[in-house]
Amino acid sequence: MKALLKFVPFLFLLIACEDKLPKPTQSGSNTFACKLNGKAWIADRGTGFNTRKFSVWYGYVNPPNKQLFISANRIAEGEHSTIQLALEDVKVRGTHYFSFDTGPAPDQMRFQDHAMYRESKPGNGRYITSSRNTGFVTFTKVDTVNRIIAGVFEFTAENLDGSGQTVRITDGRFDLDYSN
């Protein structure tokens, strides 16, 4: 029993490290992380043709408003997953809400304010925000000269398969240099 008690502090340390996220920054440090249903999710890299951990597109699809699309990738435990944030008319710091019903094909670059979580595993789950399952992103820095965008986010999204299953994204943060 004494031997087991010696390992208890190490067990707590291991659990704490598993859920540790990078601190929010605003320097263009190229980080994107959150908690997915309470477990740390940190962007690392994509697969196939897209081997970058994130991509940012900021421009005009439907003038006069500028649209922003952020996509972050993670490969862990044999699975590939992606978190996408799509927003319209991002010009200054502030909060945007994910509350738009995007329709049946949300991953076709639609820029009405919404977020999505996609996992590549059996069943290929795609979860999206809507007027019932909402969230927000708060931009803490939008620097169009140095091309740095930073902020915090959270959302709940529902599986598009009709099962009613949801995912909860909390403690989200990103700090991206989109100059390349």
- Report pLDDT digits (tens) over 99-143: 877 655 545 545 578 899 998 876 678 999 999 999 999 999 988
For the segment 29-39, the average pLDDT, to the nearest whole number, is 94
Q: Which residue has the higher pLDDT, 61 or 106?
A: 61
Confidence of residue 75 (pLDDT cuts 50, 70, 90): confident
Rounded to two decimals, what is the model's pTM? 0.81
pLDDT given for residue 179 in this prediction: 81
Count of C-beta atoms within a 10 Å radius of residue 121: 11
pLDDT given for residue 17 in this prediction: 44
Q: What is the pLDDT of residues 40-57, one digit of tens each?
A: 999 987 555 556 677 887
pLDDT given for residue 87 in this prediction: 86
Decide if 52 contacts 177 (C-beta within 8 A): no
pLDDT given for residue 28 in this prediction: 93
CA distances (Å), origin 82, targets 7, 118, 175? 36, 5, 17
pLDDT given for residue 19 in this prediction: 63
Tell me which residue of 107, 104, 65 sits closest to 86, measured CA to CA.
107
Residue type, 125: G
| Cα 177 from chain centroid (whole Å) | 16
Q: Is the pLDDT of residue 152 over 80?
A: yes
Decide if 139 contacts 90 (C-beta within 8 A): yes
Report the share of the chain in percent with pLDDT over 90.
42
| Mean pLDDT for the chain overall | 80
Calpha distance 151→102 (Å, rounded): 23
How do beta strands 114-120 and 135-143 pair? unpaired
Residue type, 167: V
Confidence of residue 167 (pLDDT cuts 50, 70, 90): very high
